[in-house]
Structure 1
Amino acid sequence: MALRKVVTSGLVWTFTQQFGNQVIGFVISLILARLLLPEEFGLIAMIAVFVAVGNGLMDSGLSLSIIRDTEAGDRDFSTVFIFNVLAGTLIYLIIFAGAPFIAQFYDQEILTNIIRVYCLTFILSAATSVHIALFTRNMNFKVQTLTAIPAAVISGALGILLAIKGYGVWSLVYSSLLNSILNFVLIWKYSSWFPSRIFDKNLFYKHWSYGYKLGLANLLNRIFNNLYLVVIGKYFSPALLGFYSRAESTKQLPLSNIERALNKVSFPMFVGIKDEPERLKSVFRKLLKMVLYIVSPVLMISAALADPLFRFLFTEKWLPAVPYFQILCLGGLLLPLHSYNLSLLNIYGRSDLFLKLEIVKKILILFSLLLIIPFGIYGLLWGQVVLSVLAFVINAYYTQRFITYPLRSQLLDVFPIYLITFFSATIVWLGDQKLFSEFPDFIRLLTGGIVGFGGYFILSIFGRFEQLPQLIDLLRDRLEKKI
């Protein structure tokens, strides 16, 4: 199959999975936000870093090594599977024993039992990681879509039912656990691969030598991505943490889904053309600009309409999260650039350099936290924006070593996209504040959305942006196939 067809098919199914799964999750979360208190979401946010660390330790980058190694076979897969399951079980037992100490750290006794139930997902995730890696390796994203969406719907329905029945924070815990159980059952049902009782030490060391550096880098990333939750949970109230968590999750809805969908397809595709530097550079540039072209206006127009957006979706009780959301959206504009620049290091097997860069950036985060904690929650938020800029500069510096695409060239490529994004968002914000502030929230959102996105696409046409016809062609291809 031609590369373009493989990419198109993969993008469609990964977008379907990411958006389907996340939109369903968002709708369910929206309903739960109306039924539960910010404090109850804050309790789940308190354990997010421990969940993230557990998941990071469980795999150690070995699944990514399987995707990258085109010669890997059944012995490799079984070896990694056995390691992941044993690691997942061990990590769960450690978290189980340490749960009372975590609860004591936050001075929230209820966290002990929450952690012990919630983290059962480690074992289930460990038992599916190789299967998912094989689906990704073969660019079979259809199956992943057919497993993720039903699991999200059923588990979400359970969460809503329990919330209505008065289970409070436990409705979130049991919903997450059921989601993992259903994913496990469906992935094994659709997978044609079954593990053997084989553990090859030589193959383990082969994948470990590549994967452990990525695993450590991923672990650092998970810890520091959730470090703000720990700091806010420790030094502020559960309610404030709930507001921050709501703002972050709302920002992530458009950002992470588009980015993950593209990364899921782009990584195995980049591996296939890594020996053709000019072709790789061309594809890299197109995908980078495409993801920013889609993500940027969604983030900034949402930020411009944040007040009616949060009141309409979550009710008045969540309005304190609005300024947090707006600042986080600004910082999120550079995240796709981080991700794509770092992906090149993995493609060329430079997991050592990947790890070094992550260590440098994490040192910057620690240093900045020491400086900005006294400035409160807004100091933490604006600090994230500054750190996002610094991280992009560091990541992009090394990209030029592989595909001759330096920082200056990347900025020149994406600047027009950012320019029309900020212009469109500014017009939306001014119009909403001056003309529509007294209107119902739905009217404000509808009008602002039409003006913002309409203006954005009109500017794209006059500016002759190549991303718009590419996006139209992609959608047309899929429609023609369905017809």
Structure 2
Amino acid sequence: MRLPDATYPARGAFRATMGSGADLVVRQGVQFLVLLILARLLTPADFGTIALLAVYVLVGCVLADAGLTTALLQAKGVTVGEVDSAFWTSVVLGLLLTGIGVAIASPLAQLADRPDLVTVASFMCLTILSTAVGQVHATMLVRALAFGRLLVIGLVAALLSGAVSIWVALEGGGLWALAVQSVAMPTVAAVLLLLVSPWRPGKQWSRNDTTSLIRRGRWVLAANLVDHGYLRLHTLITGVAFGTAALGTYQRADSTQQLTTETTSAVVGRVALPLFARTSGRADLLRAGFLTGIRSVSALNAWAMAVLAALASPVLMVFFGEQWAPAAPLLSILCAAGLLWPFHVMSISVLYATGANRQVFRIDLAKKVAGLTLLGVGLTFGLKGVAWAQVGLGVVALVINGRTVQKAVGLGLREQLSSVAPVFALAGIVGLGASAASSALDTEPWIRLIVVVPLSGVAYLMLAASLRVRAVTDLLILLRPVSNPPPSGPAI
């Protein structure tokens, strides 16, 4: 029996984007608040150690997915048998991979140079099973663009897991606080998804349906493995080269940049795949959707990256504490890489929507080989060299993605860059102004943030309005349920 298609897209991308945005912003916001507290209770070495212990866990979560969820999202229609098969396959894989993780917990602890942490490493592997149990339910809600339910689930999971982790830290649990949070959040989310989702797993597991889904998603799995494998290898190499404390410092800079970049990009990118999949036969619609998406996301992301780079030191000191001040130069560098992240999100969404899964794997493999090469060079220059290697990888990825999108939908890299060039220039000007203003204010870091951030935002919007920057106009239109006719005059 074929499940009914979602009716949400007919109501327009606005409601979907707002629902997705609210879900991500609320969940990320709660996690950020929890992180602010934990960063003051724990040490950089604690964060670095957990990052090393999580190397297998995060790869295991990708393997448990097996590309099944993306195959379900890409399909224009799915049957009950396909969804049931995806669920039970994920659960079995999750159980198997969790068992393997427990078995190799000792080598994982040795990797972090902490053989006493075998129990922690074993406990963290439960994340794989919890994620596997909930991911198909979450996928069905995403297919329906039912982000309101996902918002409630994400909020409750973030609050409960955050509260428990803070309690563990206050009780002197050290890095156990981070381990508990990593397991508690997907576990709570999985339980809530089972309770809230209108879909219930049945007994219609089918080898044919499973094989079909895996065949459709195999290149997605391969691409995800390459992506996550690269990230985990990057963490491993950095940790071994510089130690857990230095790794924790680098991770703080990287996660702070990603918190902003991935949230702004994912708001549109999360909606893009199911919507693009419904227009995959229309190259003109895909081109228009890509340009609107990249302009809209970049309008917000470019300003955020410019201001964050300019105010890296006061941001880290105010939110995380003085012990994280050494991460400031790294954060400023990584913001340059974050500037290009929206191109990656939208490019991959378009390629997946057109069914070019194998192509995604190939270009991802090429990018990661380039990334490891750049990392090898960057290591000789310390942590700053590692950060600059990420910037170099962003440029390489931009070129590779751009050429691939041109072949897929006829949209060249020059046209892509031209669509966001005005907003990049505008953000650069505002960022320089924010840096100068922060340096001129010889006062406490929190005062500089309170003064400079709002002023930079106002300056950005005023300049965008006076220059008729189209990217900002697209963003404002996307944020309105009803679009008013734009004022006359050319837009850049």
TM > 0.5 fold call:
yes
Higher mean displacement: 364-373 or 408-417: 364-373
Alignment match of 1:466 (pick from 470, 476, 480): 470
Alignment match of 1:102 (pick from 83, 96, 108): 108
Residues 2, 178 of structure 1: alpha-carbon distance in 2 compared, 3 angstrom cutoff: closer
Structure 2 distance, partners of 1:118, 1:69, is 33
Residues 462, 175 of structure 1: alpha-carbon distance in 2 compared, 3 angstrom cutoff: same
After TM superposition, give the deviation of residue 375 of structure 1 in Å.
Answer: 2.3
Q: Percent identity?
A: 29
- 2:60/2:97 contact within 8 Å kept: yes
Give matches, 1:297-336, under 5 Å. 297-336=303-342
Superposed CA deviations along residues 192-231 of structure 1, whole A, max 9, x for unmatched, are 1111223212111211111011101101101112332111
- 1:21/1:152 contact within 8 Å kept: yes
1:275 paired to 2:281:
yes
Residue identity opposite 1:162 in structure 2: V
After TM superposition, give the deviation of residue 469 of structure 1 in Å.
Answer: 3.8
Query: SS where residue 477 of structure 1 aligns?
Result: coil
Structure 2 distance, partners of 1:2, 1:24, is 27
Residue identity opposite 1:237 in structure 2: G
Residues 308, 369 of structure 1: alpha-carbon distance in 2 compared, 3 angstrom cutoff: closer
Give matches, 1:153-172, under 5 Å. 153-172=159-178
- 2:57/2:101 contact within 8 Å kept: no
After TM superposition, give the deviation of residue 178 of structure 1 in Å.
Answer: 1.9
After TM superposition, give the deviation of residue 407 of structure 1 in Å.
Answer: 0.6
Superposed CA deviations along residues 16-66 of structure 1, whole A, max 9, x for unmatched, are 111100111001100111111111111111123322211111111111111
Residues 67, 2 of structure 1: alpha-carbon distance in 2 compared, 3 angstrom cutoff: closer
Structure 2 distance, partners of 1:226, 1:299, is 24
Residue identity opposite 2:369 in structure 1: I
Query: SS where residue 481 of structure 2 aligns?
Result: helix
1:360 paired to 2:366:
yes
Corresponding residue number in structure 2 for 1:92: 98
- 1:58/1:88 contact within 8 Å kept: yes
Structure 2-normalised TM-score? 0.94
Residues 469, 393 of structure 1: alpha-carbon distance in 2 compared, 3 angstrom cutoff: closer
Superposed CA deviations along residues 147-200 of structure 1, whole A, max 9, x for unmatched, are 010110111111111111111111111122222221111111111111122321
Corresponding residue number in structure 2 for 1:122: 128
Residue identity opposite 2:338 in structure 1: G
Give matches, 1:283-432, under 5 Å. 283-432=289-438
After TM superposition, give the deviation of residue 122 of structure 1 in Å.
Answer: 0.8
- 2:73/2:274 contact within 8 Å kept: yes
After TM superposition, give the deviation of residue 394 of structure 1 in Å.
Answer: 0.5
- 2:281/2:354 contact within 8 Å kept: no
Structure 2 distance, partners of 1:54, 1:266, is 26
Corresponding residue number in structure 2 for 1:477: 481
Alignment match of 1:54 (pick from 54, 57, 60): 60
Query: SS where residue 244 of structure 1 aligns?
Result: helix
Residues 372, 475 of structure 1: alpha-carbon distance in 2 compared, 3 angstrom cutoff: closer
Corresponding residue number in structure 2 for 1:450: 454
Corresponding residue number in structure 1 for 2:487: none
- 2:287/2:409 contact within 8 Å kept: yes
Corresponding residue number in structure 2 for 1:21: 27
Higher mean displacement: 442-451 or 287-296: 442-451
- 1:49/1:222 contact within 8 Å kept: no
Corresponding residue number in structure 1 for 2:444: 440
After TM superposition, give the deviation of residue 381 of structure 1 in Å.
Answer: 1.1
After TM superposition, give the deviation of residue 478 of structure 1 in Å.
Answer: 8.5
After TM superposition, give the deviation of residue 372 of structure 1 in Å.
Answer: 2.9
- 2:75/2:277 contact within 8 Å kept: no
After TM superposition, give the deviation of residue 479 of structure 1 in Å.
Answer: 13
Structure 2 distance, partners of 1:398, 1:479, is 33
Higher mean displacement: 459-468 or 393-402: 459-468
Corresponding residue number in structure 2 for 1:150: 156
1:200 paired to 2:226:
no
Higher mean displacement: 255-264 or 125-134: 255-264
1:174 paired to 2:180:
yes
After TM superposition, give the deviation of residue 458 of structure 1 in Å.
Answer: 1.4
Superposed CA deviations along residues 54-82 of structure 1, whole A, max 9, x for unmatched, are 11111111111111112321100111111
Residue identity opposite 1:288 in structure 2: I
Corresponding residue number in structure 1 for 2:223: 217
Structure 1 distance, partners of 2:25, 2:432, is 27
After TM superposition, give the deviation of residue 5 of structure 1 in Å.
Answer: 3.4
After TM superposition, give the deviation of residue 474 of structure 1 in Å.
Answer: 4.3
- 1:48/1:229 contact within 8 Å kept: no
Residue identity opposite 2:462 in structure 1: I
Aligned length: 478
Residue identity opposite 1:334 in structure 2: L
Structure 1 distance, partners of 2:475, 2:382, is 42
After TM superposition, give the deviation of residue 279 of structure 1 in Å.
Answer: 2.0
After TM superposition, give the deviation of residue 107 of structure 1 in Å.
Answer: 1.6
Please list every run of 5 or more consecutive structure 2 residues that lacks an aligned counterpart in the other structure: 1-6, 485-492
Higher mean displacement: 191-200 or 92-101: 191-200
Query: SS where residue 199 of structure 1 aligns?
Result: coil
Give matches, 1:255-266, under 5 Å. 255-266=261-272
After TM superposition, give the deviation of residue 418 of structure 1 in Å.
Answer: 0.7
After TM superposition, give the deviation of residue 475 of structure 1 in Å.
Answer: 4.0
Structure 2 distance, partners of 1:478, 1:90, is 49
Superposed CA deviations along residues 280-302 of structure 1, whole A, max 9, x for unmatched, are 21121011110011111111101
Structure 1-normalised TM-score? 0.95
Superposed CA deviations along residues 295-350 of structure 1, whole A, max 9, x for unmatched, are 11111101101111111111211101111111111111111101211222211111
Corresponding residue number in structure 1 for 2:3: none
Residue identity opposite 1:292 in structure 2: S
Residues 340, 469 of structure 1: alpha-carbon distance in 2 compared, 3 angstrom cutoff: closer
Structure 1 distance, partners of 2:135, 2:59, is 16
Query: SS where residue 104 of structure 2 aligns?
Result: helix
- 2:344/2:397 contact within 8 Å kept: yes
After TM superposition, give the deviation of residue 3 of structure 1 in Å.
Answer: 4.9
Higher mean displacement: 196-205 or 32-41: 196-205
Corresponding residue number in structure 2 for 1:183: 189
Query: SS where residue 107 of structure 1 aligns?
Result: coil
Structure 1 distance, partners of 2:389, 2:178, is 30
Superposed CA deviations along residues 252-300 of structure 1, whole A, max 9, x for unmatched, are 1111112222121111111111222212211210111100111111111
Give matches, 1:122-141, under 5 Å. 122-141=128-147
- 2:69/2:139 contact within 8 Å kept: yes
Corresponding residue number in structure 1 for 2:4: none
Q: CA RMSD in A?
A: 1.8
Structure 2 distance, partners of 1:57, 1:269, is 26
